[in-house]
């Protein structure tokens, strides 16, 4: 590491500590002046090192504090102010993206959320697709319907869950049709992807979006994707973001492999991952 790189790393760490101590997100200009970097360079270097912008880092940290307080039993109002938001309206501006539900519903383990789901048979096994009123919340592969239904219950223990038949829920049918087209077990026009309702940090969203840009039939290693996102040495962070994905096939984390090219793991089974990649490579070839 050169002396200049060391100085930059120290400046970025100072910026991060300033953000963590700030009640309100400091402006980019203020933050840059405090650490003696230009605003443009700070924005670029901070994203390269931490995976998010300074503003996104501040917001994600506040939401993590809010989640911790809610899990510990604090009221929504107390948790909002303890996390430094100042008002509940600012939380709700971003709660759909970072919680996947309102703070009150999150605190209650998903209570109040109405989940509708269906299952279907695919060449990779049974597929379960679940939706809330906001969008798709789960796409899961497994061996049996019972296994998938139990997994859904474990993930959303306090939500109401209703099984619906094919043709009764537009969003569920749209996801199944899209996956059927990609796997080639049905041949029909692939509809647009419905909105998503999943809880994720800004960094996880960034990784998931990058995964969707990996072409069918191709793979990248954790390290390659980390470098592509400007995060050299961030392979483990990429792996954690992939591991938190619960939208099988929609977010194609199966296209990520180890540095030596071996498959590594996959939440829905390494044998399914192998079969899926082989199918995609045949289609792309």
Active-site residue (options: 199, 202, 249, 253) = 253
Quote the distance between the C-alpha of residue 244 and its chain's center. Answer: 7
Report how far residue 209's alpha carbon sits from residue 217's, in angstroms, rounded to the nearest whole number: 17
Q: Is the dihedral of CA 26, 28, 31, 33 positive or negative?
A: negative
Alpha carbons within 13 angstroms on the beta-carbon side of residue 36 total: 6
Q: What are phi and psi of 51, to 5 degrees?
A: 90, -10
Q: What angle do CA 136, 142, 145 make, to 5 degrees?
A: 80
Whole-angstrom CA distances from 116 to 51, 125, 133, 149, 196 are 34, 20, 9, 11, 14
Report how far residue 118's alpha carbon sits from residue 129's, in angstroms, rounded to the nearest whole number: 6
Q: What are phi and psi of 129, to 5 degrees?
A: -125, 130
Bridge partners for 161 per DSSP: 115
242 noted as active-site residue: no
> Which stretches does DSSP call E strand in the chain?
114-122, 125-131, 136-142, 160-163, 220-221, 256-257
Contact 248, 178 (CB under 8 A): no
Active site residues: 253
């Amino acid at each position: 590491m050169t002396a200049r790189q060391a100085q930059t790393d120290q400046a970025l760490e100072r910026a991060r500590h300033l953000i963590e101590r700030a009640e309100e997100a400091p402006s980019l200009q203020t933050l840059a002046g405090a650490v003696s970097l230009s605003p443009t360079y700070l924005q670029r270097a901070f994203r390269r090192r931490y995976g998010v912008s300074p503003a996104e880092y501040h917001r994600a940290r506040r939401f993590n504090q809010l989640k911790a307080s809610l899990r510990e039993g604090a009221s929504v109002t107390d948790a909002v102010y303890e996390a430094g938001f100042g008002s509940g309206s600012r939380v709700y501006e971003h709660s759909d993206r970072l919680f996947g539900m309102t703070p009150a519903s999150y605190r209650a383990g998903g209570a109040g959320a109405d989940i509708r789901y269906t299952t279907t048979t695919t060449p990779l096994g049974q597929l379960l697709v679940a939706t809330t009123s906001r969008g798709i919340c789960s796409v899961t592969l497994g061996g049996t319907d019972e296994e998938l239904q139990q997994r859904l219950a474990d993930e959303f223990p306090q939500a109401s869950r209703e099984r619906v038949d094919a043709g009764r829920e537009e969003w569920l049918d749209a996801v199944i049709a899209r996956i059927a087209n990609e796997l080639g077990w049905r041949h029909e026009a692939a509809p647009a992807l419905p909105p998503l309702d999943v809880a994720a940090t800004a960094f996880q969203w960034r990784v998931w979006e990058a995964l969707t840009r990996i072409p069918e039939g191709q793979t990248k290693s954790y390290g390659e994707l980390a470098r592509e996102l400007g995060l050299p040495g961030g392979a483990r962070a990429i792996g954690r973001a992939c591991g938190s994905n619960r939208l099988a096939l929609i977010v194609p984390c199966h296209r990520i492999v180890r540095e030596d090219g071996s498959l590594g793991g996959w939440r829905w089974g390494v044998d399914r991952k192998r079969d899926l990649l082989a199918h995609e490579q045949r289609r792309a070839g």
